Structure 1
Amino acid sequence: MENLLRPIYQERASQPNTLGVLLYEKLHDQSPVTDNFDVILLIVVREAEEDWYVKHYEFEQKTAAMHIVDEQLLNEWIDKSGYRKAIDWLINGKVIFDRNEYMANLKETLHQFPEKNRKLKKAVEFAKLIRAYRECKDLYNSKHYMDANSLMVRSLHYLARVTVLEKGFHPEITVWNQVKKIDPEVYKLYEELMESEESLEKKISLMLLASDFAIHSRAEHGAEHLLNLMKEKEEPWSFGELKVHPELQAYTLDLSILLEYLVERKIIKTVLVETKGQSIFHRQYVLK
């Protein structure tokens, strides 16, 4: 396979802004990880004209997809779980060109999964978990049970990803296979949702209670990235200060609902600052 594709990637490898080329072959007949292509060529470049360029090929009854990705976008995918398949390619793919050991170092970093990166990804997934859980609860209270059920599946998926990150691993596409091995209690929640013979209303009601406990018990660890950052100063933070902080950009869209949850759980407290308006206060946040 590599020999057949060499003419395609060699042209790219000769360009000075190409950092590395990786090859990933599909493992099963049906492969969501490769969008069912037989092989993926991932080419990482620096300062590309397009952040992400994709081209499809066919040869000898085989198919290939070439992804040329700017280094900055790839790092965003890694930090924000923006394109999860790419992490699978990086971890399990074969490096076939490497400039100054760029790809080797990147694979090693993913393998070691430094604590700082892990806390950031955990905060991203935990914030998504809070949003999905709250939306599910609102739909349930509005008696939209089928939509609530969809949101419950999504919130459990985020819970699974948080659980895997707690154990120091990257969540894979087959995240429930990982959870089954490392946290049977969380896996049992998913089983109960899928297999319960209760009415939809009763099933979601029970899952909301169980999920609330699972989320509550993980609150401080899940939000550790945010809480550690807030220790940088003793004075209260305005939401505006937190929103523009460069280290929080990976989950800024879910920051507001995460803060509100932490206030409710009394992990963070609010400080009210007077404004020119009578009985109207600015709301600021500080660690409890």
Structure 2
Amino acid sequence: MEDLLRPIYQERASHANTLGIILLEKHKPENPATDNFDVMLFIIVKEDQPTNSFKHYELESGKIAGLKIVHVDQVNEWIQLGTNRRVLDWVMNGKILFERNEYLSQLKQSLFDFPLKDRKKRIGLEFAKLIKRFRDGKELFEAGHLLDAYNYMVHALHHLARLSVIDHGFHPEITVWHQVKKIEPEIYKLYQELVESEETLAKKLELLFLASEFLVNTNTKIGSLHLIEVMEEKEAWSIQELMVHREIRDYSVDLEALVEFLIERKVIAVITEKTKGQGILHRNYSSHKLSTK
């Protein structure tokens, strides 16, 4: 298979902007790692203008091949935010056909190392999403919208699972529940109860919210660490300042729910200041440690 694709990848390897080329082959009838192509080439480039390109080929043997050319900035974003976990599989398990200046070898090593700074941000992102989904799910449950509450809680548990995997120093894989079953069986059991229990949906959700609330509270310290470390840069922050901060903006969509949760847990303090309007105050925020100095 590799021989048939050699003209394609050798032509790309000759380009100065090509950083690495990875080959992935399908070894099972259904293999999501290759997007169900028989073989796939994943090429990382550093073009002047970021651009992604996708091509499909049919080989004389009847096999189908896919080609993905992706800009290095996009790959870095997927890895840093965990928004395309399949890329981790490609980099970690694919066959390196070409790399410039050991780019792919170094990238693979950084994924194995998973530096603490990167883990903190990923945990903060997953925790923010967890809080938003959990609180929205609880509101829907209390309003009697059980199916919608169920959907939110499935997502909340996924974020809790990924948070746990990251906290243990690993990147969440596509098969995250396989990882969690070994790392945090308590979280796995919650998910199993939600999808397999024969209790009524209302009863399952009621029990799940009780158990999940304990796990959410248990993870508050580690989940809020990234945000709190940013907030310790100065005394008080407006919500706008936090949302546009380079370290926080990647989870700004869930930030307001996270801030309110942390205020309730006395991790963040509210600091008010006068406005021109009578009886109206600006609401700013401070880490509780700074606010009590």
Normalised by the length of structure 1, the TM-score is: 0.96
Write the deviation string for residues 73-104 of structure 1: whole angstroms up to 9, x where unpaired.
11111111121211111111121111111111
| Range with bigger deviation, 223-232 or 163-172 | 223-232
1:58 is aligned to 58
1:103 is aligned to 104
Shift, 1:211, TM fit:
1.0
Matches within 5 A, 1:257-272: 257-272=257-272
Distance 1:177 1:27, change over 3 A: farther
2:219 is aligned to 218
1:285 is aligned to 285
Contact 1:23 1:41 in 2 (8 A): yes
RMSD: 1.3
Matches within 5 A, 1:84-233: 84-233=85-234
Moved over 6 A (4+): none
Q: Report sequence identity in percent.
A: 52
Shift, 1:48, TM fit:
5.2
Shift, 1:52, TM fit:
1.8
Shift, 1:212, TM fit:
1.1
| Range with bigger deviation, 275-284 or 31-40 | 31-40
Matches within 5 A, 1:35-54: 35-47=35-47, 49-54=49-54
Write the deviation string for residues 175-198 of structure 1: whole angstroms up to 9, x where unpaired.
000000111111110111122111
Matches within 5 A, 1:11-26: 11-26=11-26
Write the deviation string for residues 27-64 of structure 1: whole angstroms up to 9, x where unpaired.
42212222211222111111354532111122222222
Distance 1:40 1:48, change over 3 A: farther
Unaligned runs of 5+ in 2: 289-293
Count of residue pairs the alignment pairs up: 287
| Range with bigger deviation, 186-195 or 172-181 | 186-195
Contact 2:270 2:283 in 1 (8 A): yes
Contact 1:20 1:43 in 2 (8 A): yes
Letter in 2 for 1:98: E
CA distance in 1, matches of 2:39, 2:265: 47
Unaligned runs of 5+ in 1: none
Contact 1:33 1:173 in 2 (8 A): no
